[in-house]
Amino acid sequence: MPMKSTPFRFIAVLALAILAATRTFAAEPAIIAKARARLGSDAVLDALKSVHYVGTLTVKDAADPKKVVTQSIEIYLQKPARQRIEVTSADSRDVSVLDGYDAWQRTTDLKTKQWRQSVFSAVQIKGLRSDVWENLSYFRGIEKVGGWVKDFGPATVDGIACQKLGFYHSEALVYFRYIDVTTGRLVMTGTDDNATREEGEVFSGGIRFPRTMTITRKDGGKTLIQTITFEKVTVNETFPDSLFATPLATVN
């Protein structure tokens, strides 16, 4: 027997429809155009299909400056939802990959050739997909992947007058970005407990990329600082499917 609808249910559905329409058709904050213009022209940014980064990753404990680990890092990003990150030291190699709705990680001991492999959960995959969008879409078009932008207004970061924007992939998955209102430069991404700051410049394919990215994470009273220094950035390479395919895990 069909369930009768109630006025209360109708109001709830109507409220959700209005909310979705508001998110979809809300005017884009003007600061986004300024931030994009600083990085490259709309034509160049919209034509971007892939980015390939090569560099070094340095990890240090803020409480003990002597604890420093330096590794090589290589990052592949490809629209719409592919990512491969390789981190290699003298002893190990860690590879994590997103391929659409599949994601996996393999860590190999380079001395013994032993490895362990795991797959990511659905929640982790959603986060990885949003990472790819954030890195390749340059602040525009989040509504096409079911998200929305919220303008939080003025904020000051590192003594710089910024505008704070929230890029919502869901209520629980948000990228807070602080953009210099004068220059359009991205000053910080994240929160006080997990912040990313960019410095320097590398130009490739008509796009301005950061030379370094510094991620500061606070967890349980401990602060870790990760710095990625990019030595080479290449845009619009064509990557083979095999770069993202899940490897067989039958033999170790």
CATH number assigned to the domain covering 31-243 = 2.50.20.10
One pLDDT digit (tens) per residue for the chain, 252 residues: 444 444 443 444 444 444 544 454 568 999 999 999 999 999 999 999 999 999 999 998 777 778 889 999 999 999 999 999 999 999 999 999 999 999 999 999 999 999 999 999 999 999 999 999 999 999 999 999 999 999 999 999 999 999 999 999 999 999 999 999 999 999 999 998 899 999 999 999 999 999 999 999 988 888 989 999 999 999 999 999 999 999 876 555
Give me 88's structure tokens. Answer: 């290699």
Closest by Cα among 167, 194, 202, 197 to 180:
197
Tell me phi and psi for residue 239, to 5 degrees.
Answer: -95, 140
Secondary structure element (H or E) that encloses residue 12, with its range: helix 7-25
| CA–CA dist 9, 21 (Å, integer) | 19
Please give the sequence-ordered ranges of beta strands (E in DSSP) within 64-211, or none if there are none.
64-78, 82-88, 92-99, 102-109, 115-119, 148-157, 160-170, 173-180, 186-191, 194-199, 202-204, 207-209
Q: Where are the domains of the chain?
A: 31-243
